[in-house]
Amino acid sequence: MRVVQVRCPRCGRPSFSKLRDSMVFCEDCRTLHTVTDAGPVVIEHEIGDFARELPMRKVHMPFWRLFSSVNILSETVSGGWVARLMSAASGGSRSGNLFIFVPAVDLPPPVYKYWAQTLTTNPPQYRSVERFTAERLPTTIDEESARKLADFLILSFEAEKPGVLQDIRYEVAVQHSRLIYLPFYEQGGQYQPGF
């Protein structure tokens, strides 16, 4: 793993970035940024605090939280995930807004999809803190990729329910994104939420 020096775009403090992690956090002014060909880009972020203590490794796992408009154009679905989620989020409507959580870290595919669906269905409640209090897992999925993954994840959640999906057409438009570092406990590749 190669380490390179970068400067915070707000305060100019030099930081070191592991190339495996696309995000750099400034310990002085708490700015999170990424480096692109056009220069540094500040990333809106939140850090969730641990609400309980477990005798396991503590990590902050990054998720892209995508505030999205979802519009179901047509459906012939019995008990589908999207329709139920939209109905619950919008009081029975076929369109509305919701947060889609896309993991921004490398995880095994089943684990990746589990946390994406679990957190999108039940958005986490947490108290924010200003600094990391545990190891920060590297961000490997950029915002643009997360936006593309959101549509795919929703369709896969729906399609993987045997005998449920007949046909569904919908639109997803991401309105706003933010990188959320959620507290987790890890042991043997298994994760438990710390919020």
Q: What is the pLDDT of residue 160?
A: 67
| Residues 94, 169 contacting (CB under 8 angstroms) | no
> Per-residue b/e over 55-72, b at no fewer than 16 CB within 10 Å?
eeebbbbbbbbbebebeb
- Please state, as a whole number, how many other Cβ atoms lie within 10 Å of the Cβ of residue 11: 11
Q: Which tens digit of pLDDT belongs to each residue from 99-153?
A: 999 999 999 999 999 999 999 989 999 999 999 999 999 999 999 999 999 888 8
| pLDDT at residue number 172 | 87
- Specify the higher pLDDT residue, 20 or 56: 56
pTM of the model: 0.88
Contact (CB, 8 A) for 149 and 142: no
What tens digit of pLDDT does each residue of 164-185 get? 556 777 888 999 999 999 999 9
Please give the span between the terminal C-alpha atoms of the chain, in angstroms, as a whole number.
Answer: 31
- pLDDT at 34 (0 to 100): 92
